[in-house]
């Protein structure tokens, strides 16, 4: 192979001077475009669930409004569902980059607090006009609702009138539910079943199992399958039909109101003790209680606002979809029994 011709020798100094001039000009241009005085904005990291940060969820609107007043960068990190938030919190421990965790509910608060990773919110809640009784030093409620089975009225003209009827009728509708290990609605159903059937909950699950089409990790996947017609009923919320009436102008999707009552879910937020921005995290918790956020939530998260704002709910929310009887367990009892009750669910579905 022939060798390449050699380059003639050229003095380096002129080229070095030219390069210095060019780099100097580039530096000036960068200084004009990006002033040295412009520092990076402070970032607040909030762990939440996937549907909260979706394009149709409240996350983008809350981010826009909070950033306008804080001059910061609000970063939402969306996980599968509320129960997955607690698992992530435990996994990361004091190495978590999160400043705030948003999306746990009262069935998980006792267990979350026991991790020792959360700190008191530091807010004065005495003057807040809550829509439900509330007193807690760590957790701040931002909305609440009731679990319910939403059904397609075109596929199921007459829904069951109670949870007992849904379970005991072997010819009843097929349903889609969520996994209680990763989903707060899934856990809510486990608690709802326990509340109604008590020690006979395992047998009740076994009776219902043949009509469970699938068990998804989170709410979004389950509801999506329902809308595709995979089953005529899905575990969701009593407020879900309000979305279809408000956005889609249809009354096709309704909720089966059960005479025994419905299990209540209160969604909460808390700040982490390891947060590098504790004051900003506190400001964000306070912002969740503002009229701005509380008026956003009904038509984006499709839940009931935790605070009275003086603004009525949209007409799509019907009063007959608010349960006459509210069911709940004490958070401490849930903490003690959660694993056992989930194991009973697992055993019954594996029969």
**Mean pLDDT, to the nearest integer, of 3-18?**
39
Q: What residue numbers bound the domain in which 327 lies?
A: 145-264+323-349
Distance separating alpha carbons of residues 242 and 229, to the nearest angstrom: 19
DSSP 82-131: HHHHHHHHHHHGGG---SEEEEEETTTHHHHHHTT-EE------TT--BS
* pLDDT (tens digit per residue) in 121-155: 999 999 999 999 999 999 999 999 999 999 999 99
- Of 4-13, 165-174, 276-285, the range with the lowest mean pLDDT is 4-13
Same domain, 151 and 235: yes
Neighbouring residues of 137: CB distance < 8 A, sequence distance ≥ 6:
120, 121
Whether 216 has a pLDDT exceeding 90, the answer reads: yes
315 with 218, same domain?
Answer: no
Same domain, 126 and 53: yes
Q: Are residues 169 and 249 in the same domain?
A: yes
Q: What is the CATH number of the domain that holds 97?
A: 3.40.190.10
In-domain check, residue 190: yes
Higher pLDDT, 86 or 82: 86
Does 34 map to a domain?
Answer: no
Is residue 1, in this structure, part of any structural domain at all? no
Encoded tokens for 281? 């995290």
235 in a domain, yes or no? yes
The SS3 assignment for 289 reads: coil
| Same domain for 112 and 253 | no
How much is the average pLDDT of 4-17? 39
Whether 195 maps to a domain, the answer reads yes
Structure tokens at 152: 């397609």
245 inside domain: yes
80-89, 107-116, 180-189, 225-234, range with the lowest pLDDT: 80-89
Phi, psi (rounded to 5 degrees) for 309:
-110, -10
Alpha-carbon distance of 131 to 135, in angstroms, equals 12
Say whether pLDDT at 107 is over 90. Answer: yes
CB atoms within 10 A of CB 336: 13
Predicted confidence band of residue 82 (pLDDT cuts 50, 70, 90): confident
Position 7 in a domain: no
Q: Does residue 73 belong to any structural domain of this protein?
A: yes
Other Cβ atoms closer than 10 A to 314 = 11
Structural domain count, the chain: 2
Main-chain phi, psi angles of 314, to 5 degrees = -60, 155
């Amino acid at each position: 192979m022939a060798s390449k011709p050699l380059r003639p020798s050229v003095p380096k100094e002129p080229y070095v001077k030219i390069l210095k001039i060019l780099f100097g000009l580039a530096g000036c241009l960068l200084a004009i475009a990006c002033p040295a005085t412009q520092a990076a904005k402070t970032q607040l990291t909030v762990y939440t669930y996937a549907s909260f940060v979706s394009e149709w969820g409240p996350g983008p609107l809350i981010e826009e409004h909070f950033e306008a007043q804080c001059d910061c960068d609000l970063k939402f990190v969306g996980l599968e569902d509320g129960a997955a938030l607690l698992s992530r919190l435990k996994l990361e421990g004091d190495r978590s980059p999160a400043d705030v965790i948003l999306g746990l509910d009262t069935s998980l608060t006792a267990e979350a607090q026991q991790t020792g990773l959360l700190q008191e919110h530091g807010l004065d809640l005495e003057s807040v006009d809550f829509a439900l009784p509330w007193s807690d030093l760590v957790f701040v409620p931002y909305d609440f609702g009731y679990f319910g089975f939403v059904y397609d009225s075109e596929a199921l003209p007459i829904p069951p009138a109670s949870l007992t009827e849904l379970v005991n009728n072997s010819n009843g509708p097929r349903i889609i539910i969520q996994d209680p290990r990763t989903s707060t609605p899934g856990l809510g159903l486990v608690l709802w079943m326990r509340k109604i059937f008590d020690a006979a909950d395992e047998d009740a699950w076994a009776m219902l199992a043949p009509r469970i089409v699938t068990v998804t990790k989170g709410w979004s996947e389950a509801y999506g399958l329902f809308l595709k017609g995979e089953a005529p009923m899905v575990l969701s919320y009593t407020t879900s039909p309000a979305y279809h009436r408000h956005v889609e102008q249809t009354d096709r999707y309704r909720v089966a109101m059960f005479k025994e009552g419905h299990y209540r879910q209160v969604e909460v937020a808390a700040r982490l003790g390891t947060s590098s921005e504790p004051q900003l995290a506190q400001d964000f918790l306070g912002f969740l209680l503002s009229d701005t956020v509380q008026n956003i939530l009904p038509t984006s998260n499709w839940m009931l606002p935790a605070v009275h704002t003086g603004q009525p709910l949209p007409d799509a929310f019907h009063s007959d979809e608010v349960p006459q009887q509210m069911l709940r367990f004490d958070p401490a009892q849930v903490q003690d029994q959660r694993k056992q009750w989930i194991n009973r669910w697992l055993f019954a579905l594996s029969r």
